Structure 1
Amino acid sequence: MKLTKNEIIRYSVFVAIFLILLVYPGQIVNLFKMLYSVSLPLIIGAALAYCINILSSAMERWFWPKSNKKWAIRLRRPIALLLAIIIIVAVIAWVLRLVLPQFISAISSFFVSLPNVIDDINKWLNNSNQASAIASQLETTKFDWTSIQSKLMKFVSSGLSGVFSSSISIFGSLSKGLFNFILAFTFAIYLVSGKERIADRLNRVLDAFVPHKVMTKARYVLRITDNAFSSFISGQTIEAFILGTLCALGMWIFKFPSALPVGALVGITALVPMIGAWIGGGVGFVLIAVTSPLQGVLFVVYIIILQQIESNLIYPRVVGGSIGLPGILVLAAITIGGGVAGIIGMLLSVPIAATIYQLIKNATLNREKNEEPSIPSEDIK
């Protein structure tokens, strides 16, 4: 079989790429790591744009949806985008406004009550035999004060230099994080505001260089993936609202303090599947335990029960129902995704599993329609 010139070039490129990957695996991995680090703000911006676009697209249908006037068409997208950003920022600010003052007050109360706790410990030591035993032990022990002083000075000097270098490192990390956030947010706004124009240009390039059959299949997979991810985000938001409401309502019924702030925080953190509620519950325990340790322990018991109900009943039904994925597969996807990639794996595993599930389901239905098995005559009664 004689190969054409294009086939020879294609196979040569494949062999060259394979040899490069085989000879320089470490350098290739480092190259991908560097590219990922450089493009991370753009990746975050694209993810942020996708989330904002869900709310913004829903709001665009509220503003003059049937109007063809130029001013309506020009103002529809900016107004919807601005309102979507305002709603997201307002919700986050509202939760922080509820939680932060309570948390700061709890920590302040802890440090205010700390001297009384130390006095109680001293009284207990004085009223028992512990103080005399410690004093006699100190008298029989000989200390090398010169060695202790030199070690202490060395520790202090190294600690001061460590604090100085850590401060510089923290400042640099904060500056870099702020810059990356501004870049990601700007990129997200650009993507959402010009999504039709960007999609049109990208489709023109792909249609010009990629075979039509490949693009048809790719667009089909992208439609299924987009539907799975958008439904997952909507379902996750509804589930977080339900969990936060149940947490606040239960705390109010059982007369736990800070019911509204803790419920709002649990609802926000529940946007992270399964473990998010535990993060909010940990902060809630601190807020409650400072004023009443017993109520703090009871709150932990309550949040454990609520989390079990949420993980096994609410989450699979709400999120699984929104994306068309059976509850058992939701739990399996979160377990596998969390084990492979942690929190990011938990966030992405459910919509990815829903996409695969829908693709397999559609392929199975198409195969059953095209290949209907014939029934043998002896099986017909």
Structure 2
Amino acid sequence: MFHLDKQYRNREILIQRLILFALGLGMVILYFRQILDFFGHIISICMPFIVGGFLGYVLNVLATNLLTWGQRLFGMKVNRFTRFLCNCLAILTLLLLVVVFLFVLFPRIAESLRSFMIDLPASLNAFWLWLLKITENMPSIHDWISQLDFSVDSLSRSTEEFLVWINADAQADLMSSVYNALTSAFSWAFNCMMSVMFAIILLFNKERVVHEGRSFLEAYIPERFLSRCIHILKLIDNTFTGYIGGSCLECLILGTLVGVFSAIIGLPYALLSGLVVGIGALVPMFGALTAALLVALFMALESPANGLYFMILFICIQQVEGNFIYPHVMGKTVGLPPFYVMIAITIGANVAGILGMIVFIPITSCIYQIIREDAAWRLARKRKQAEGQQPEAGENHHV
């Protein structure tokens, strides 16, 4: 049988791999759109499990925090029963929040929106008259504003025409796509049910999932990379756990403070303003400020003074929250300098919109910490080599 020398055999294997790589790259370039559509279809099929995994992770964060507080306050021991109890409490807590939102907050928010829509024509008219008054000494601006028709009758008529148009369009769409609407509703309900069930199964079987995942890593990852891989996974888990828990608690505190103090000083739409600011605070850096400016604009349509009072109130609350509450809630969970936070927000907004702005913060934090640890390890190795010492063979590749 014909045999090649070892050097020629290695060269032949290298050429074969280069040919296969070139063919694969060519196929990706030629059928890039089809490949994207294929993976998009796969992701859409797996979406209930992706959402369920994320929901299960959030429930696990809540259960872990409940167990931690139980240890601090009541001296609970960590065992199978206490973990099961905290898992059940986490599910009940999330269910209670959903019930409170649907049956307590949502009706009040709907009433606030209805009152706002009813008062909108009169508020716009009052704002228009206020602009006319303050621009009396500026003839060019005053004449341009006076040409705008912001009378109550005109605004009411425009609002009614807009609502009639929406209702007519909605009725036409409903009559023409009843089957599609029912199919979409059934599919949405089925996916939600599957996501919730998958999340609960993950929550009550997390020890088994972690054990099987570790076994999988030990079986398929070389020994020299195993400790590093486990360390990176723990870093990602700690970062996301702290970020999710801290962000939700910080948004809840900020929204509650805004809503309560708005109601105390008699500002309109207090509950709605607190909810909008709390949701906006999920977006780092500029989310809460943007939401507050939007709320202030709505209040200014009714009374410019109310908009000004709300912005003063928000700035005071944000200063207190940022200097005294935020450091204790978030701590060093993310640990990103503001420069990298802005980069993460920009990239996330361009990739996935608002969701990307939220998710890319902990992702960037993980990458930042991994690079810092790797740089510190390499610097330490160079210092040892400069001093004539070789790094130990079993030295971990992280600080």
- Relative to the length of structure 2, the TM-score reads 0.67
Alignment equivalent of 1:37, drawn from 35, 40, 44: 44
Alignment equivalent of 2:89, drawn from 72, 83, 94: 83
Look up the equivalent residue of 1:101 and give its one-letter code. Answer: P
How far apart, in 1, do the equivalents of 2:320 and 2:264 lie?
18
Measured after TM superposition, the shift of residue 283 of structure 1 is 8.8
**1:41-85 CA-partner distances (Å, limit 9, x unpaired):** 111111111111111123345378547xxxx62x33332111112
Unmatched 5+ stretches in structure 1: 118-155, 376-381
Alignment equivalent of 2:213, drawn from 186, 196, 202: 202
Pair 1:211 & 2:222 matched: yes
Change (3 A) 1:316 1:80: closer
Deviates more, 1:356-365 or 1:97-106: 97-106
Change (3 A) 1:296 1:2: farther
Measured after TM superposition, the shift of residue 36 of structure 1 is 1.0
Pair 1:345 & 2:352 matched: no
**1:64-120 CA-partner distances (Å, limit 9, x unpaired):** 8547xxxx62x3333211111222232343345453233333355467679999xxx
Deviates more, 1:312-321 or 1:159-168: 312-321
The corresponding residue for 1:140 is: none
How far apart, in 2, do the equivalents of 1:333 and 1:7 lie?
39
The corresponding residue for 2:131 is: none
Alignment equivalent of 1:228, drawn from 228, 239, 243: 239
The corresponding residue for 2:393 is: none
The corresponding residue for 2:111 is: 105
Alignment equivalent of 1:185, drawn from 196, 203, 214: 196
Change (3 A) 1:252 1:32: same
Pair 1:49 & 2:49 matched: no
Change (3 A) 1:2 1:348: farther
Deviates more, 1:81-90 or 1:203-212: 203-212
In 2, are the aligned partners of 1:320 and 1:327 still within 8 Å (CA)? no
How far apart, in 2, do the equivalents of 1:226 and 1:15 lie?
37
Look up the equivalent residue of 1:56 and give its one-letter code. Answer: A
How far apart, in 2, do the equivalents of 1:29 and 1:294 lie?
51
Look up the equivalent residue of 2:41 and give its one-letter code. Answer: M
SS in 2 for 1:182: helix
SS in 1 for 2:266: coil
Look up the equivalent residue of 2:278 and give its one-letter code. Answer: G
In 2, are the aligned partners of 1:106 and 1:286 still within 8 Å (CA)? no
Change (3 A) 1:301 1:283: closer
How far apart, in 1, do the equivalents of 2:261 and 2:204 lie?
42
How far apart, in 2, do the equivalents of 1:306 and 1:169 lie?
49
- Relative to the length of structure 1, the TM-score reads 0.70
The corresponding residue for 1:368 is: 379
In 2, are the aligned partners of 1:247 and 1:266 still within 8 Å (CA)? yes
How far apart, in 1, do the equivalents of 2:191 and 2:323 lie?
39
Change (3 A) 1:321 1:76: closer
How far apart, in 2, do the equivalents of 1:343 and 1:307 lie?
24
Measured after TM superposition, the shift of residue 39 of structure 1 is 0.9
Measured after TM superposition, the shift of residue 314 of structure 1 is 8.7
How far apart, in 1, do the equivalents of 2:207 and 2:366 lie?
24
SS in 1 for 2:268: coil
Measured after TM superposition, the shift of residue 355 of structure 1 is 0.8
Change (3 A) 1:330 1:303: farther
**1:114-172 CA-partner distances (Å, limit 9, x unpaired):** 9999xxxxxxxxxxxxxxxxxxxxxxxxxxxxxxxxxxxxxx99986533134444433
In 2, are the aligned partners of 1:281 and 1:303 still within 8 Å (CA)? no
The corresponding residue for 2:281 is: 270
The corresponding residue for 1:354 is: 365
Change (3 A) 1:369 1:214: closer
In 1, are the aligned partners of 2:335 and 2:365 still within 8 Å (CA)? yes
How far apart, in 1, do the equivalents of 2:117 and 2:44 lie?
41
Q: May I ask how many residue pairs the two structures share in their alignment?
A: 332
How far apart, in 2, do the equivalents of 1:275 and 1:165 lie?
42
Unmatched 5+ stretches in structure 2: 1-6, 124-166, 388-399
